[in-house]
Amino acid sequence: MKNLTIGLFGFGVVGEGIYQVLKDKPGLKTTVKKVCIRDINKDRNAPAHIFTDQPAELLFDPDINVIVELIDDAEAALPIVKAAMEQGKSVVSANKKMIAENHAELIELQQTFDISFLYEAAVCGSIPIIRNLEEYFDNDLLNYVCGIVNGSTNYILSKMQTEHLDYQVALEEAQKNGFAESDPTLDVEGIDAAFKLSIIALHAFGELVNPYQIPREGISQLQTEDIESATALEKKVKLIARAQHHDGELELSIKPELVGDDCILSEVNNEYNGVLLGSSLADEQFLYGKGAGRYPTASAVLSDISALRYGYRYEYRKFNRVNSVPSLVSIP
């Protein structure tokens, strides 16, 4: 088992949670040496000497072997993650936008610099979906992955349907609870779900998909009457992300759908996420858990950090199979 010395970028709700857990659990043999933040003068619940606003102090520190990137800005995160990999440091990130927009380049960098790049927290919060797709479903038996992958929209829809809350009030509650993105348009227009679905498509089916090309419809246009009509039909309205093989083609979509009580997704409420996995032999399986919020996200980040202690990395076997060009055999 490796000892891990972490350089942490970001000290928001998740970053601070990770710092406190690692400090209280010396048995994990993982210490946070330095934390890089934007505003060095803000009061924090940790000793002042660990904070810096200079990324280089973490990126070029030879003692630091892992960078945990938890900042709320995909554009700022990318150069940090790339520099960390170039310095031979493993990286844990929860930044779905940065990953979905730059997946091909990030896969190449981790192979070139022979490091691990883990991001379980980027998709469905606490649900271990990526590692399941990588390890358990490391075969060609999966036919579809579909479900609820955004906690904020599910929270809004649940509150509108069960408590008759107004859309705007429900959205404000989702923001107050720390479920929504700083720009909630990403949630309500299904863009966040598209980032997650493109990451799922790579690990489930080996296909690199541009998240902005996924056909997408959000929930901002839904009217109270739509919700009431669904209730009259004894159905729930859910924002469903779908990746499905059809005639050899992978079809992807994000859109609100009516879900009846014959489908377990109708039981997934509030900030919970739920994912159905359809496979040729096992038929259908279901993963369920909290998809947003401080502790669920921190739990997935922590799981990635623990996995680094035994050198775990994603192998992208399906992607490598889909993209491998058979080498020409020369005939003597």
| Interface residue list for ligand HSE (CB under 6 A) | 125, 150-152, 179-181, 187, 192, 291-292
Those residues whose C-beta lies under 8 Å from the C-beta of residue 324, and which sit 6 or more positions away, are none
Give the nearer residue to ligand HSE in terms of CB position, either 72 or 140: 72
At how many degrees (to 10) do helices 103-112 and 74-86 cross? 20
Q: Where are the beta strands (DSSP E) in the chain?
A: 4-9, 30-36, 51-52, 66-69, 90-93, 117-118, 142-148, 236-246, 249-259, 272-279, 283-290
Give the nearer residue to ligand HSE in terms of CB position, either 117 or 119: 119
- Which member of 89, 159, 196, 236 is catalytic? 196
Label residue 332 exposed, middle or buried (CB < 10 Å: 0-12, 13-18, 19+).
exposed
Give the nearer residue to ligand HSE in terms of CB position, either 115 or 188: 188
Instruction: Determine whether 196 is an active site residue.
Output: yes
| Structure-block tokens of residue 254 | 């994000």
Closest to 145 measured CA to CA, from 158, 157, 132:
132
Query: Are 51 and 37 within 8 A, CB to CB?
Result: yes
Residue 87 backbone dihedrals phi, psi, to 5 degrees: -85, 5
What is the torsional sign of CA 108, 111, 114, 120? positive
Closest to 290 measured CA to CA, from 170, 155, 111, 176:
155
Give the nearer residue to ligand HSE in terms of CB position, either 130 or 180: 180
Minimum distance from CB of 158 to ligand HSE (Å)? 12
Residue type, 151: G
Rounded Cα gap, residues 93 and 86, in angstroms: 16
Give the nearer residue to ligand HSE in terms of CB position, either 119 or 179: 179
Minimum distance from CB of 151 to ligand HSE (Å)? 4
Q: Tell me the helix, strand and coil percentages in the chain, rounded to 5.
A: 40, 20, 35
Give the nearer residue to ligand HSE in terms of CB position, either 109 or 239: 239
Query: Are 147 and 273 within 8 A, CB to CB?
Result: yes
Residues recognised as catalytic: 196
